Each structure stands twice: as C-alpha cells, then as structure tokens.
Chains A and B, each alone.
Chain A
Amino acid sequence: MLELKKLTKTYRTGDKALQDVTLTVPKGQVMALIGPSGAGKSTLIRCINRLVEPTSGSVILDGADITALGAGGLRKMRRRMGMIFQEYALVERLTVMENVLSGRLGYVGFWRSFLRKFPQSDVDEAFRLLDRVGLLEMADKRADELSGGQRQRVGIARALIQDPRLLLVDEPTASLDPKTSRQIMRLICELCAERDLAAVINIHDVALAQMFVERIVGLKAGELAFDGKPTEMTEEVLTNIYGEEDWQATIRNVDDEEAEAALAAS
C-alpha cells in the first residue's frame, strides 16, 4: 500500500538524512521505526507527507506517486495520512473539539472552517472519536488544560477524523510516563486494527515497540539496518543499530510479558 522507492534526503547543510531507503508497508500493518537520534526516523516520516521535501526517490501511496504531486494534489493526499506527534502539537489555545475538527480542514472550505461551521456529520464523528479515546466530557476544555496522555488522545482523534488510510506517528510516547505510554501505544494499535489502517511509528523505546507492533524496521545513519519481526530483534541487531551496549534488559523477555498479561487478566 505504501511504497518508498530509493528515498533520499540530503539537507542543505549536506547532512545525508536518508539514503536509498526502499520499503513497503502493506495494508493494515503497524510498523515501528527504530534507530538512534539523528538516524533519519523523523525525516523519513515527514518525507511521506512531504512536510520535508525528499531530494530524490519516490513515495507511492495506493498507486499514486506523492512526490510528483502539485500543491493542490498534495493537500488532497495529506487528508488521507493522519499524523500524530511527539509533543502532541495541539493548538494549545483552541478547545479539544476545535482541535479534533481541525483534522477535517482539508475537506472543508476556508470560511466554514474559519467560522467553525463544520458539517454535522464531522461533528458527529468528532464526538464519536472523543468517546472512543475516552475524552467525551473534555470536548469543551482548552487543549492546554489537559494532561499529556489526554492531549495525545486528542492528537489521535484529530488524525483519525481525517479518515486516513495511513497513520504517521512520530515518537508518540516520548513525553509520557511508562504507563500512559503503553496505553497510548495500545490505543493506536487497537484503532489501526479496527480500521485496518497501516501505521509507521517512530519510537525510541525498543521494548515498547516489541510489545505492540508486528514489524520493526531499524534505521542507522539514514540507511535500513534491520527489517523483521519483533521476535527477531536480538542483541546483535541492537548493537548493529545503536552501537555496543548491554542490551539484555532492553529485549523483551517473553515469559515475563505473558506472566504480566495473565496477572492483568485475572
């Protein structure tokens, strides 16, 4: 569904953020992108919706080449790609409802959006999504009144109301505590499963990624360094991506996880 072909990004400073990245994400697959800071994870995700212009290569979503689109076509295409950010990137001084509805901006004309006269179907969907992420009673609160986890839920609702085919998720849990991180990751993965959405999730926390996703891709200095199942992540792989370190505690211990899950279920 999503295809990256020889995607390359060289910044004006000469930094090679991405080099010949070729990758295919099938429909409905949740994929984690790991790698050290500066490996190009953030650039890769932003090249997909062209918040960052790729230098060369192409990004193909459902057969359409995003890199070849003009301004209008790009905006139409962006509607189908929901994005979730590390620091939530909500418009702090707007209400939760306005933030969620801002996900519909690509579908609504300027004056309607300026006057906040969104179609009733959009408003219905916004309420439905707020209910789904558990923030129905917060609709009228200003975004800066919410806690980190709540803000990220609003961010998720904003991305989903776009009716996307693909979610681009940039470090969704980096500003959250461990428990909230798990809840947010679980929510994202559940929603992807419900809607058969593909997702690319940038994530620092390898253990968290292993816990939730079905495929992990490692990026090292702008190049693919690993592509496989979470169970295939070994100490050697991590050492290859991040460098020498004691990885014993990072890699998921399957028995522990199952014990924990059993405990939670009982």
Chain B
Amino acid sequence: MPVSTDVHGAKIWQLRNRNQTLIRWGSYLAAVAIFMWCWQRISEATTWFFVWDAPRIAADIGGRAWPPRWSYMDKLWGPLWDTFNMATLGTVLALFLAVPVAFLAARNTTPSTLFIRPVALFIIVSTRSINSLIWALLLVAIVGPGVFAGLMAIALRSIGFCAKLLYEAIEEIDEKQVEAITATGASRWQVMAYGIVPQILPAFAGISVFRWDINIRESTVLGLVGAGGIGLQLQSSLNTLAWPQVTLILIVILFAVIVGEWVSAKVRGAII
C-alpha cells in the first residue's frame, strides 16, 4: 500500500512500499549479474588476437580500397537500373496483392471473421516474417537467378507489411461516414468506394512510398544471393578482393538510398 498512516495520524504517500522497493532493487541486481555472466561467456568464446588485430586489418583494407575505381561506374548503370526496377515493380505488385488481403483482414470489412480473416492474417504474418533475402534464396532456386527472382522476393516480403499497415488503417476509419453512405441505399461496393476508400487513401499512399523506400535498400543486397541488381556486382567484387570497386559500389548504394529517401519524403509531404 503506497498510502499509509504515520504515528501522528498524518497520511503518507509513497510511490512504492518497502517490499516493492526491495523487489525492484533485487531485479536490478539480477539483471546486472546476468549481463556480467553473458559478457564473460562471450569473452571466453572470442579469439582476442583477431580483435586486437582488427584496427590494423581494417586500415589495410581501407588503404587498398581507396581511391574508388571510378571507371568501374560504366558497368554499374545497368545493375543500378535493375535495382530500381526490382524495388518499384516489386512494390507495385505487392500493393496489388496487399489491398484485397487488407480488406479481408480488417475486422470491419472482412466477409467472415471466423474463416476468412484468419487466412488473411496468416498470409500477412507468413510473408512478413520471412526476410526478403531468404525469399530471394528460395526463388533463385525455383525461378533461376536474375531480376525476376529479386522482384518476386521484394513483392512477397512487402505483401504482409503493406497489408498489415493498410488493414490497421481500415479498422481506424470513421464508421459514421460509412453509415451515412449505407443509409443512402448504396450497394456494398459503393459503400466501399465512397465510404471507405477516400478515408484510407492517404494511408495507402504513405504506405506505398514508405515500402518503396525500404525496398530500394533491400534490393541492393538481393544480388548477394544471385537475384540480380547491384548486389551481384558487389558480390563478385568482394570475391575477387577488388576493394576499390567495392568502395564505389557502396558509394553508389548510399546515393541510391538517399535518392529513394528524398523522393519518398517529397511524396509523403505532398500527400499529407
């Protein structure tokens, strides 16, 4: 009881009583002990020689990687274009698939809470929980290496993400507007087009550019597993220890991501 009475009969208020305070300090102590124990275990499993050597190796690679091999840029324009295409088309495809899934998953629009909603939620969770790199690995094995596998990987990973944010937006709409449209004698689809869609349009646009921005970043690494784009060049440069090329590719990726971020910020600013 945080409220107690002292000997003079005055009421005393404390945030916690003695037992709660003891439990708190005990928990802190336990947390510190666990942290120290983990630290020790990691330390035992570490070859400290490599760690002490790390600055020298890093300096060595840095020395070889500089200056970037600018002439290699000629070979990067194609893969860079592929990367943008993968991200953009993958996002568009994902949105096409995510919209119906979102409507089936949203509690206020699903045709059946008992049967269809769980299926939609399962699609969302399963596509979201698998990283696009893993999707790409699978798809490279199935459809063969190349841009198409990357595009599919981006799309599959994005369905769940977009559908989840979209169905949350659908569940948060103002039901009064829907009610008003229903009261005019509108059909189910008309209620959707007039009562629901205008309300979720800003969210939809925001989600689209947000996901596109993320996908630009993700598509730069998909080449590492053979799914096309600039990552392919990165991998081959790493394999041949062509460090100046690696530097150039990293710079290019950085610029691509900055451009993506800039565009999505502009678009979002324009909508909201």
Contact = CB atoms under 8 A, between A and B. Distances in A.
A binds B: yes
A155 B177 CA distance: 11
Interface string B179-201: 11111111101100111001101
A110 B177 contact: no
B177 A89 contact: yes
B41 interface: no
A93 B194 contact: no
A93 B183 contact: no
A103 interface: yes
Interface string A95-107: 0001000111111
A153 interface: no
B186 A106 contact: yes
B8 interface: no
B185 A105 contact: yes
A89 B179 contact: yes
Contacts of A49: 183
A157 interface: no
10 contacts: A76-B185, A87-B176, A92-B177, A92-B199, A93-B202, A105-B194, A113-B186, A113-B190, A114-B190, A162-B184
A78 interface: yes
Contacts of A103: 184
Contacts of B176: 85, 87, 89
A87 B174 CA distance: 11
A83 B189 CA distance: 20
B184 A78 contact: yes
A158 interface: yes
A79 interface: yes
Contacts of B181: 91, 102, 105
Contacts of A75: 185-187
Nearest to B182: A51
In the A-B complex, the 5 residue pairs with the smallest Cβ-Cβ separation, listed nearest first, are: A106-B185, A89-B180, A78-B185, A105-B186, A79-B185
B262 to A, nearest CB: 27
A87 B179 CA distance: 12
Contacts of B186: 75, 102, 105-106, 113
Contact of B195 (A91, A155, A168): A91
